[in-house]
């Protein structure tokens, strides 16, 4: 083995360690052991409303909303279960009753709940009740959590329209549920696609999500909504 090849291999290994091992070690030693925190009404910015969606891995559900005009913030977290202040390890292992979800703080004067629903359907496989793409298990299933009767009605209408569109040849199984206690996930999960861009792209590119969405939606996948 030549010295050049040897050093190239060593350099490659060091890059992989830097990209995959160090961030994980940092997260574990600093924030991975923290519990999640319950979100209260006081956490919602004045003048904004809340929408809650579960679409499998919450890392993948933040970017589509955060780029839109009228969105104040998107929070990754856990909801739907009975375990108080669950950790990521507990939720991902199953058994807590929680599923990964995001809360979207939006300005109804700039973007409507119906538009948020349109974005939601374009991120998921609504016919899969056993997980989403590479992530399997109840904790990665989909759901729409409504915060008012108006949201419930609009969600039901949106689901019905999608079912009747003929875009999917299987039943739309995404449930529409009343919003429950929402727990903000550990800080290292928030804006993960920004903090760990390479690792996020590697995961997403191999998850099967984008291939599926391109096949199902094609040119209709991207909505013409104002962006920041």
DSSP assignment of 153-181: HHHHHHHHHHHHTTS-SS-----EEE---
The whole-number pLDDT of residue 167 equals 95
Residue from 27, 39, 57, 74 carrying the catalytic annotation: 57
142-146 and 131-132: which strand pairing? unpaired
User: Does residue 176 contact residue 144 with C-beta atoms inside 8 Å?
Assistant: yes
pLDDT digits (tens, 9 = 90+) for 103-117: 999 999 999 999 999
Q: What's the pLDDT band for 3 if we cut at 50, 70, 90?
A: low
Strand, coil or helix: what is 143?
A: strand
Q: What's the pLDDT band for 36 if we cut at 50, 70, 90?
A: confident
Q: What tokens appear for 192 in the block? A: 């993960």
**Percent of the chain with pLDDT strictly greater than 90:** 80
Told to judge if 60 belongs to the known catalytic residues of this protein, a careful annotator would answer: no
Region 197-209: what's the mean pLDDT? 96
Q: What tokens appear for 79 in the block? A: 């909801």
The whole-number pLDDT of residue 162 equals 98
User: Does residue 58 contact residue 100 with C-beta atoms inside 8 Å?
Assistant: yes
Region 186-201: what's the mean pLDDT? 95
Partner residues linked to 142 by β-bridges? 55
Q: What's the pLDDT band for 123 if we cut at 50, 70, 90?
A: very high
User: Does residue 193 contact residue 62 with C-beta atoms inside 8 Å?
Assistant: yes
Which residue did the predictor score with more confidence, 41 or 50?
50
In this predicted structure, the answer to whether residue 216 has a pLDDT above a threshold of 90 is yes
Calpha distance 54→57 (Å, rounded) = 8
């Amino acid at each position: 083995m030549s010295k050049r090849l040897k050093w190239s291999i060593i350099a490659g290994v060091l890059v992989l360690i830097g990209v995959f091992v160090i961030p994980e070690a940092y997260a574990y030693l600093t924030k991975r052991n923290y519990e999640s925190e319950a979100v209260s009404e006081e956490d919602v910015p004045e003048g904004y409303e809340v929408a809650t969606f579960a679409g499998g891995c919450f890392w993948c559900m933040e970017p589509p909303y955060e780029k839109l005009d009228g969105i104040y913030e998107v929070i990754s977290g856990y909801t739907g279960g009975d375990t108080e202040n669950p950790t990521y390890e507990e939720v991902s292992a199953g058994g807590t009753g929680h599923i990964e979800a995001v809360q979207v703080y939006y300005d109804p004067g700039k973007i409507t709940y119906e538009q948020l629903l349109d974005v939601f359907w374009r991120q998921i496989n609504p016919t899969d009740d056993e997980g989403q793409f590479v992530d399997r298990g109840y904790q990665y299933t989909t759901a729409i959590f409504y915060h008012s009767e108006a949201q419930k009605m609009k969600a039901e209408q949106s689901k019905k329209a999608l079912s009747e569109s003929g875009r999917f040849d299987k039943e739309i199984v995404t449930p529409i549920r009343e919003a429950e206690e929402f727990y903000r996930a550990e800080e290292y999960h928030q804006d993960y696609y920004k903090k760990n861009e390479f690792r996020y792209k590697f995961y997403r590119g191999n998850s099967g999500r984008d291939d599926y969405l391109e096949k199902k939606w094609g040119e209709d996948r991207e909505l013409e909504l104002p962006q920041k």
